[in-house]
C-alpha cells in the first residue's frame, strides 16, 4: 500500500502571536509512505527537491534514518497503537524552502503522520494527530494550520492536547512572502531569545494579540497596523536578518502596508497589506535586500484554507 499526502507551508507568529498563531500558505511538500515487501529492509527516507528554489545541499543535511523527525513522527503513531514501524519507504518531494520560517519541518511531520495514519486504517483522529505532531515539533503554531488549514490560533495544553480556533482572513488584505537566499535555523533564532521578558512587554503583546483578533474580525486596517507589532521575539531576532530594519522603515511610507513581520523565526518576512501597489512593495524589498547583496524570491499568496490532504492512496 502507498499513500501520498500534500501539506501546505505555514507562516507562524505573524507579529504578536508568538508560538500560538499560524497560517497555511499555498506552497506544498508531498510526503509518500509505501509499505515495502522485502523483509529486513527497515525504513528508507528520500528527500527530493521539486523546485529550483530548493537548495539540494540543504536537503542533503536532513537525516534519512531513525534520527529523522519524519521517522520519529511515524514511530510515535505506530507506538500509540502498540506497533513498531518496519519496512517503510518514505519519499518527501520538497517545494517549501528549508530554514526560512515557512514550516518545512512541520509539513513533513504532518505529512508523514497523516500518510501513516491512512496506512494503519486511520486509528488516530485529528485530536491525536495534533498532539503527536506537537510532541515532535514542540509547539502548535505551524503544526495546527498544516493539519487544518487557514489562519489559526492554537494552544498546546499541559496534557498535550491542542485547542485551536480558525479566523477568517479578510479578502481585501494581501499576504506577500519574501524569501531571502540565506537560511536561518530555528535553533539559532531561539537561542537569541531571553528566558524572561519584562512584564510591560508581555502586556504589550497581550494587547496586540487582542487587537489582531478584532482587526481580523472587523477588517479594520488601521487597527491591524497597531496589532502587528511585537516585543517578545522580533526585536531580538532583527539582527539575524540583514536589511530587515531598513525594509520595515522603507515600507512605512506606504499607507496600504499594514505591517512587516518575520515569518516564523525567519529568515523570510511577511508583509500584510491592502491589495494595491503590490509591485511597488515587492520592489522596495528587492532593492533594499539588493543593497545588502541578498537575492530573494517574492510571492503574493492567498491563504490556503485546506490543511494536509491525501492526494493518492494505492493498495
Contact 230, 18 (CB under 8 A): yes
Helices (H), 34-93: 56-60, 69-80
Q: Cα–Cα distance between 309 and 127 in angstroms, integer?
A: 16
Task: From residue 46, give the alpha-carbon distance in Å to each of 70, 74, 192, 308.
Answer: 11, 15, 32, 20
Task: Give the cell for residue 291.
Answer: 543593497
Instruction: State pLDDT tens for residues 134-163.
Output: 999 989 999 999 999 999 999 999 999 999
Whole-model pTM above 0.85? yes
The topology (CATH level 3) of 2-167+303-314 is Ribosomal Protein S5; domain 2 (3.30.230)
d(CA 106, CA 121): 22
Dihedral (CA of 286, 292, 297, 299) sign: negative
pLDDT tens, N- to C-terminus, the chain (315 residues): 899 999 999 999 999 999 999 999 999 999 999 988 666 556 788 888 876 656 554 555 455 556 788 989 999 999 999 988 878 899 999 999 988 999 999 999 999 999 999 999 999 999 999 999 999 998 999 999 999 999 999 999 999 999 999 999 999 999 999 999 999 988 899 999 999 999 999 999 999 999 999 999 999 999 999 999 999 999 999 999 999 999 999 999 899 999 999 999 989 999 999 999 899 999 999 999 999 999 999 999 999 999 999 998 777
User: What is the CATH topology of the domain spanning 173-301?
Assistant: Alpha-Beta Plaits (3.30.70)
On whether the CB atoms of residues 80 and 124 are closer than 8 A, the answer is yes
Dist. CA 96–CA 261, nearest whole Å: 19
For CATH 3.30.70.890, list the domain ranges present in the chain. 173-301
In the chain, residues under CATH classification 3.30.230.10 are 2-167+303-314
- Give which of 2, 5, 1 is closest to 311, Cα–Cα: 5
Helices 69-80 and 126-137, interaxial angle, to 10°? Answer: 140
Amino acid at each position: 500500500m502507498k499513500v501520498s499526502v500534500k501539506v501546505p507551508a505555514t507562516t507562524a507568529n505573524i507579529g504578536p502571536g508568538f508560538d500560538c498563531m499560524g497560517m497555511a500558505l499555498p506552497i506544498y511538500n508531498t510526503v509518500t509512505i509505501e509499505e515495502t515487501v522485502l523483509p529486513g529492509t527497515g525504513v528508507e527516507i528520500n528527500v527530493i527537491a521539486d523546485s529550483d528554489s530548493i537548495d539540494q545541499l540543504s536537503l542533503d543535511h536532513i537525516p534519512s534514518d531513525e534520527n529523522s523527525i519524519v521517522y520519529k513522527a511515524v514511530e510515535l503513531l505506530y507506538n500509540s497503537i502498540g506497533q513498531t514501524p518496519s519496512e517503510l519507504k518514505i519519499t518527501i518531494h520538497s517545494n517549501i524552502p528549508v530554514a526560512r520560517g515557512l514550516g518545512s519541518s512541520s509539513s513533513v511531520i504532518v505529512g508523514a503522520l497523516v500518510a501513516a495514519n491512512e496506512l494503519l486504517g486511520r486509528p488516530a483522529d485529528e485530536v491525536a494527530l495534533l498532539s503527536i505532531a506537537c510532541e515532535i515539533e514542540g509547539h502548535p503554531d505551524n503544526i495546527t494550520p498544516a493539519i487544518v488549514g487557514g489562519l489559526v490560533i492554537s494552544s498546546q495544553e499541559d496534557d498535550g492536547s491542542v485547542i485551536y480556533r480558525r479566523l477568517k482572513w479578510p479578502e481585501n488584505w494581501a499576504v506577500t512572502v519574501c524569501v531571502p537566499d540565506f537560511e536561518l535555523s530555528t535553533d539559532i533564532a531561539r537561542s537569541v531569545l531571553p528566558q524572561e521578558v519584562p512584564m510591560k512587554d508581555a502586556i504589550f503583546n497581550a494587547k496586540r494579540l487582542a487587537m489582531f483578533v478584532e482587526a481580523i474580525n472587523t477588517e479594520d486596517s488601521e487597527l491591524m497596523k497597531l496589532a502587528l507589532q511585537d516585543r517578545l521575539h522580533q526585536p531580538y531576532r532583527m539582527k539575524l536578518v540583514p536589511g530587515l530594519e531598513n525594509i520595515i522603515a522603507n515600507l512605512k511610507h506606504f499607507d496600504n502596508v499594514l505591517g512587516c513581520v518575520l515569518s516564523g523565526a525567519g529568515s523570510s518576512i511577511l508583509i500584510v497589506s491592502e491589495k494595491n501597489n503590490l509591485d511597488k512593495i515587492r520592489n522596495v524589498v528587492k532593492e533594499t535586500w539588493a543593497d545588502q547583496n541578498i537575492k530573494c524570491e517574492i510571492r503574493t499568496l492567498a491563504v490556503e484554507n485546506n490543511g494536509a490532504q491525501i492526494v493518492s492512496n494505492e493498495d
